[in-house]
Every structure is written in structure tokens, then in C-alpha cells.
Amino acid sequence: MKKYYNISTFIIFGLFSIIVTFYYPYLNQSVGLDLADVSKVVTLGALFNIIGQPLLTNFYSKVKDKKKFIIRYLITVLLAIIGLMFINVHTAIYFAMIYGFILNSLAGIFEIYIEELASLSEYEFSDIRKWGSIGYACIVFLGGLIISSFNYRALHLSALALLIFLMLIILFKFANNNSKKEIRKSNEKVEVKDLLKNKNILFLFLAVALGMGSYMGLDFAYSTYLVDIIGDTDKANSIYSTSISLRVVVEFFSFMIVSKYAGKLNSKKCLMTALTIASIKVLLFSTGSVILIVLGDQLHGVLYGIYLTFLFKYLRDIVESDLVAISFSILSVLSTGGSNFIYPSIYAWLQKSFGYFSMYLAGFIFIISSIFIFFAILPNPTRKNN
């Protein structure tokens, strides 16, 4: 069964790379939006991702047949990708709502699903998730070749083929994750309001929003930053794509190493370590040295395997098991969709007013604030293996 989890994770993140990585150039180069309009579309999509992913996860948490829910959700993803193929300058802003709600939630929903399956099968989640990193890198590379040789329509058709293959694997090879230990009483309901009663999870939300949220919110400036430093767009784009590909490979090895030691390490300390690495990356970016910037970018691959693995472990220790999925969904939104909705405007203002150094300094301060919350406020894990 594990090999099917690995293959599915490879495919889903490869598919997600098409949806996310090539979305911005698709809007600009194929649909015909200028950069100002692209920014508006992306912001609206981020808003609907903030709304959509927690709602979808809440539905997922309440249904008994998880497999059926995932198949139905993937059908909506398929329809949304078909819709993406036919947007134009007039409809792109409206489609952004579907993109944010359905497509941009794909990785988060699947991570919750596969983590739950891995937990039930007593597999280490990070040992499966590492294949998502390789899938992301491989499909990004192949996607670039498809665009260069053909066009975006061919890329999206490839995404549909991947999605159909994935659905067939889940349909015929995955078991329902309704094991006896996971069947809930009929009167048990997962409610978001239950999270508001848990001060630890609220502080965790704040810590992630300040830490990973501010950190991920800096990504929007990376390629532009390189262009401004180097002064040659083609060379900057080449360095950018190479850097991204390398860091995904580093991420694969990060997940592989973490999977060997995950059960022996303190999840809270590991999350603080991941944030510390993030702060170092931001400082390296602030130097303005291309070599240090590319080196710093590789640190993302190191920290992300640590962060994602131990975030799930820490969640399972401070909230009830029924609330893990919805909690992770909100945390995922706070570090992705939420960060794209809030931080880019703050950073753009700082960059325009005071330069790139001030932007990265602000990101560093946000991350340090997050580490302080983990250190001073959030509880230590209570499980024996932590």
C-alpha cells in the first residue's frame, strides 16, 4: 500500500506545481494580463483560499467516507483545470475565486488525507511526503519543456492526464480510512468553534502567521529581486529556476532524513529549529549577494521537511485528534494563502520606501517574534517519545 501512497504523493505535488508555479506566467503571457492585474487576481485568489481550505477541511473532517470525499473533490479540481484553460482578460478575476477555493487548496487537503492514511497504517508521514518534493521538481522541469515546445494548453492537458491517473489509483488501490479506531460516534461533530476554546492552538495560529506566514510572504519578491541585482532578466530567470529546482531536491533529502529520526525528537524544538533556519535564510537574502541568496534559498529545502513533519506531530499532541485536520488546514492557510493576502503589500511598501534590506529585516523580525511565542508561551509536547 505504501508504494501507492508514494506514487500518489508524487503525482499530486507534480500536479500542484503546474497549478501554482505556472499560474502567474500563464496569466501574464497567455491570458494577457499586465502585472497590476495579475496582482489583483492573485490577491483575490488568496482571499478565497483563506475561506475555502478551512471549509473543505471541515467537510472532510465530518464525512465518514474519506475516499469518496477525495474523489469528489478531485472531480471538482478536474473541472476547475478545464475552466482555467478557457479564461481570458475579462474572466480571470472571476475565476480567481474558483482558483483560490478549489485549486489552491489541493496540496493542503491531500496532505491531511495522506497523513491520516499514513498514521493509520503506522507509516512515517515524512517518508511518504518526500516523494511530493521530487514530484514537484520533476513536473516543474517537464512543465517548462512542454511550454517551450508547445504551449500552456498542452501543459494543462498534461495536468488533466495526471489527475485522471491519480483518481484511478485512489479509486482502485486505496482503502477507506474508516478503521475501527477512527470511527466516531454518530453524535460527535468537529466544530471550528472548538478551536477557539483551546488557547494553545490560538497561540500556535499566531506563531505560524508571524513566522511561516511572513517567511512565505517574501517569495513574491524573489525573482524580481534577482533581476534588480543582476540587471539581466534572462540570466536572473535562469538562476531563479535553477535555485528552485535545487531546493526541491534538498527538500526531498530533508524529508528522508527527518523520517528516520522523527519519533525520537521534540516536536516543539524542531519547529523552533525550522523557524531559526528560516530567519537565517532571510538574513542571507538581505545581503544582496547572489551567491548568498541562492545558498539561502537552499535552506528552504532543509527547513520545510522539518517544519511540515513536526507541525503534524505537535498538533496531534496539543489538540484532540478530531481537530487535527481543521487545525492543520487553518495553519496551512496562514502560511500560504493568508501570507499572500497580507504580507506582499506590507513588504512591497517597505521595499518601495526603504529598499529591499528593510523588507527582509521586517521578515526577520516577524520570524523572531514567532520563535519567542514558541519558546515562552506554547507548551512542550507531552508524548513520551518527545
The torsion angles phi and psi of 333, rounded to 5 degrees, stand at -65, -40
Question: Domain ends where: 176, 202, 234?
Answer: 176
Please tell me the predicted confidence (pLDDT) of residue 249: 83
pLDDT tens, position by position, 343-373: 877 888 898 889 999 999 999 999 999 999 9
CA distances from 311 to 303, 315, 371, 384 (A): 12, 6, 14, 17
User: Virtual CA dihedral for 188, 102, 204, 258, nearest 10 degrees?
Assistant: 100
Question: Can you give the residue range of the structural domain that contains 306?
Answer: 190-386
Q: Which three cell numbers stand for residue 147?
A: 511550454
Please tell me the predicted confidence (pLDDT) of residue 191: 59
For the chain, percent of residues with pLDDT exceeding 70: 92
Please tell me the predicted confidence (pLDDT) of residue 136: 83
DSSP state of 364: H
- 163 and 53 in a common domain: yes
Q: CA-based angle 216:342:246, to the nearest 5?
A: 15
- 159 and 219 in a common domain: no
pLDDT lower than 70: segments of the chain: 35-36, 177-194, 262-263, 337-338, 383-386
- 314 and 275 in a common domain: yes
- 195 and 104 in a common domain: no
CATH number of the domain to which 282 belongs: 1.20.1250.20
Number of structural domains the chain divides into: 2
Q: Which three cell numbers stand for residue 266?
A: 521534540
Q: Which three cell numbers stand for residue 253?
A: 533529502
- 158 and 91 in a common domain: yes
Question: Domain ends where: 176, 198, 215?
Answer: 176
Question: Domain ends where: 176, 205, 228?
Answer: 176
Q: CA-based angle 209:212:215, to the nearest 5?
A: 110
For residues 192 and 54, give the distance between their C-alpha atoms in angstroms, rounded to a whole number: 9
For residues 9 and 107, give the distance between their C-alpha atoms in angstroms, rounded to a whole number: 9
Please tell me the predicted confidence (pLDDT) of residue 331: 84
Question: Is residue 40 a part of any domain in this protein?
Answer: yes
Q: Which three cell numbers stand for residue 41?
A: 487576481
